[in-house]
Amino acid sequence: MRSSSRPEARLSENMQSFVSALALIALLPFVFGMIPVRGLLTLLPAGWQPALGLTAGDAELLRGAIANFRPFADPVTWRFLGLGLAMTVGVSLVSILLSLPLATFTALGRLSSRPWLRWPTIAGIEGIRAFPVLILIFYVFTQFSRLAEGLNIGWLKSQNVTISAIVALTLYTTVVNAETIRAGILSLDKGQTEAARSLGLTYAQALRLVILPQTFRRVLPPLIAQFVTLVKDTSLGAIIGLLELYRRGQILYQFHRNPMETLFVISVVYFLLNWALGHAAQEVERRATGARRTKPKGKD
C-alpha cells in the first residue's frame, strides 16, 4: 500500500503545483492592467453598477481589452505560433543531442592528466562561459555568415540563422554540462576506478562500464534543469531573426498592436512547455533511480 500511494502522492503534488502556477498566471492580466477590474464589474446586474460608481467608459475599457485578445480566437494565429513552437522545440532538441556527448568528452578533457589536453579544455570552458548567451549567438551568426558567403553553398546560406543558433546554444550548453559531469565524476569514490582497473578493465572500459553510468545517474537533475533552461534560451535567437516562438510573437503583436496580451499568451505557452518537460524529466529521473535500486527477485 505504501509503494502504491507514493506515485499517487507525487501526482497529487505535481497537480497542485501546476494548478497553483496557473492560478498565479491567471492573475497577471489583472495585475498588469490588460483586463480592467472595473470593466469586469460592468458584467454585474445593472442595478448594482450605480452603487459601484461604474460608467459607460468602464464598459468600453472592457470591450477594448477583449478586442486585444481576439486575435487568439483565430486558428490562423495558432498555426503561426505553432510553427514558432516547432522551431523552438527543434532547435532545443538538436542542441541537447549534440551537447551531451560533447560535454562528456569536454569533461574528460578537463580531467585529463595530459597538460596539452587539459589546459586548452579549461581555457575553452572558461572562455565560452564568460560570454553572455546573447553575445555568443550574435558572434557565431556573424562568423558563420562570412563562412557561408565564402563557401557559396546555397542551403548553408539559407539555413544560416538556424544553424548559427544551434551552434551557439550547443557550445554554451556543452561547457555548462561539462562542468556538471566533471563534478559528478569527482564525486565518485576513487576505489571504484581502482577496482575496475584491478579487474583488468582498461581506462576506456572503466569509464564506459563503471564511471560514466553512475555519473549520469548522479547529475541527471542538474542536466535536466539545464536542458529546460536551453528551451527558454532559444528565445534569444530572435536577435538574429530565428523564427522561434518569441520572434513570431513579436511579429504578431507588431501587426495587431497588442504587445502585452501577446507576450502574456507566449509566456503561458512557455510555461506549459517547460512544465511538461520538467514533469517528463522527473519521471525519467524516477525510473532511472528505481532501476538502480531494484534488485531481481529469486525464484520461490
pTM higher than 0.85 for the full model? no
- In this structure, of 34-43, 142-151, 269-278, the range with the lowest mean pLDDT score is 34-43
- Report how far residue 169's alpha carbon sits from residue 287's, in angstroms, rounded to the nearest whole number: 28
By C-alpha distance, which of 211, 231, 220, 218 is closest to 281? 220
pLDDT tens per residue, range 178-190? 999 999 999 888 7
- Report how far residue 273's alpha carbon sits from residue 89's, in angstroms, rounded to the nearest whole number: 9
What amino acid occupies position 262?
A: T
In a domain, 94, yes or no: yes
Residue 191 pLDDT class (50, 70, 90 cuts): confident
Return left, alpha or beta for 257; rule: phi > 0 is left, psi -120 to 50 is alpha, else beta. left
- pLDDT recorded at residue 39: 62
- pLDDT recorded at residue 45: 61
User: Mean pLDDT, to the nearest integer, of 126-140?
Assistant: 93
- pLDDT recorded at residue 98: 96
Range of the domain at 152: 75-185+223-285
- Report how far residue 288's alpha carbon sits from residue 290's, in angstroms, rounded to the nearest whole number: 5
Q: Measured at the alpha carbon of residue 241, what is the angle toward residues 227 and 94, in degrees to the nearest 5? A: 30
- Report how far residue 77's alpha carbon sits from residue 249's, in angstroms, rounded to the nearest whole number: 10
In a domain, 98, yes or no: yes
In a domain, 44, yes or no: no
In a domain, 198, yes or no: no
User: Mean pLDDT, to the nearest integer, of 278-284?
Assistant: 76
In a domain, 42, yes or no: no
Domain count, the chain: 1
In a domain, 32, yes or no: no
In a domain, 256, yes or no: yes
pLDDT tens per residue, range 100-114? 999 999 999 999 989
- The CATH number linked to 122 is 1.10.3720.10
Return the C-alpha torsion angle 96, 102, 103, 106, nearest 10. -170
